[in-house]
Amino acid sequence: MYATRTRHARPEPFSIRPGIAERLGLAYLDWPLALSALALIAFSVFTLGEATLHDIPGSPRYYVDRQIVYAGLGLIGMVLLARIDYSRFRELRVGIYTFLCVSISLVFVFGFAAKGSRRAFDLPFFSFQPSELGKLLLVLALAGFVIDGARRGSERQRTLRYLVLGLAPAALVFLQPDLGTSLVFAVATLAVMYFGGVRWTHFAIIGGALVALVSLVLVLAPAAGVPLLKGYQEQRLTSFLNPSEDPAGAGYQQNQSVIATGSGQTTGRGDRATQTRLDFVPERHTDFIFAVIGERYGFMGAAFVLSLYALLFWRALRIVTLSKNSYGTLVAGGIAVSLLFQVFVNVGMNLGIMPITGIPLPLMSYGGSSVIATFLAIGVLESIHIQARRSQKGRFAW
């Protein structure tokens, strides 16, 4: 016993043999974060496999197979990003920002229109929606600008500069038109500014301006005969307040989604899930996938999924506190808040407490751009975690 220990005794700290994670460059990975993301995408594939069997006659695995490919690509991207020191992105902020704005603008020229909106390019194997990746790019670039400009100009000038930098791409996305994603851009902008230390008074002013803008768009402008939102956009935003009044329009979808979720009860209806199987709920593989989960797997399934998101958010927020530098703090904060926003708005929309805005549920809704972009964002979070842990230990594996 004693002899054995001597034989295997290894001198600290120089001869640690790297484990598999370390050899992959993934030592100090935040496993709960990665695993919750994996669990979510696995649940997504499982749900799509059961619920979209008959959506495309003749190819029951259409959505599942594609979602598996997207998940695989996303995972590879996540691992690659986790291995890179995210601080590089700070140096590349101008390039990232330019790419963001150009790619979103190009959609107007080369993008294809779907359901009255131009938001994606048609690539050979899937349609690439730049605004999905843009959510991450905006955070990476804006956090860079905030850190870089921390000593230039007055505080008011700085706040104004961040707002313009963040809201310009948001406006481009809004014009596609894609109201939901532009809201995510705006929230990410505010989150980065928030963690960047912008004064509370400035936020109060921004909040006041926002209230004024909303009342202008929804109340004053239509009253003056100048509608700023497209009819369906306004209808979607307001009809959730009273869905049963308008069973034929936008409220209909939400009503059906609420009925679907509610009818799942505690344990779910499984294959007898008529609401989501029989076309009552629209867009059931994308925006309303949570209603599918609610109906098929009941409170147990839906609460499980929500818990995974809560875990994900907690780990993200924890990384904000761990970051070795303030750039990491800002990036992690921006990602954490925009994930929280997307989950809340989408699930809230499925449950009838938020308006229909067309925001996909990260890692759950079918769609390559969203799945891959979310994995990349998690890869950045992991990178921040890994860098933080390495610097804390004061030791580098290789």
Tell me how far, at minimum, the Cβ of 344 lies from another protein, in Å.
Answer: 5
Tell me how far, at minimum, the Cβ of 239 lies from another protein, in Å.
Answer: 14
Strand partners, 128: 121
Contact 86, 331 (CB under 8 A): yes
Tell me how far, at minimum, the Cβ of 259 lies from another protein, in Å.
Answer: 5
Tell me how far, at minimum, the Cβ of 292 lies from another protein, in Å.
Answer: 13
Q: For binding to another protein (CB under 8 A), which residues are involved?
A: 57, 191, 194-195, 197, 247-248, 252, 256, 258-266, 269, 274-275, 279-280, 294-295, 298-299, 302-303, 306, 309-310, 313-314, 317, 320-321, 329, 333, 336-337, 340, 344, 347-348, 351-353
Rounded distance between C-alpha atoms, residue 193 and residue 199, angstroms:
9
Choice between 57 and 124, CB closer to another protein: 57
Choice between 128 and 194, CB closer to another protein: 194
DSSP secondary structure letters along 22-87: HHTT-TT--HHHHHHHHHHHHHHHHHHHHHSTTTSTT-TTHHHHHHHHHHHHHHHHHHHHHHS-TH
Burial of 145 (0-12, 13-18, 19+ CB in 10 A): buried
| Distinct helix (H) and strand (E) counts, the chain | 17, 3
Three-state DSSP at 111 gives coil
- Lookup: tokens for 308: 């995974």
Burial of 71 (0-12, 13-18, 19+ CB in 10 A): buried
Tell me how far, at minimum, the Cβ of 251 lies from another protein, in Å.
Answer: 11
Three-state DSSP at 9 gives coil
Mention every residue, 6+ apart, whose C-beta is less than 8 A from residue 129.
Answer: 119, 120, 121, 367, 369, 370
Contact 78, 376 (CB under 8 A): yes
Choice between 141 and 337, CB closer to another protein: 337
DSSP secondary structure letters along 94-105: HHHHHHHHHHHH
Choice between 84 and 310, CB closer to another protein: 310
Greatest Cα pair distance in the chain:
90
CA 224 from centroid of its chain's CA atoms: 36
Choice between 130 and 166, CB closer to another protein: 166
Choice between 97 and 288, CB closer to another protein: 288
Rounded distance between C-alpha atoms, residue 209 and residue 1, angstroms:
73
Tell me how far, at minimum, the Cβ of 351 lies from another protein, in Å.
Answer: 5
Tell me how far, at minimum, the Cβ of 279 lies from another protein, in Å.
Answer: 8
Choice between 22 and 55, CB closer to another protein: 55
Choice between 264 and 367, CB closer to another protein: 264
**Please, what sign has the CA dihedral across residues 71, 72, 75, 81?**
negative
Tell me how far, at minimum, the Cβ of 287 lies from another protein, in Å.
Answer: 16
Choice between 340 and 386, CB closer to another protein: 340
Tell me how far, at minimum, the Cβ of 114 lies from another protein, in Å.
Answer: 18
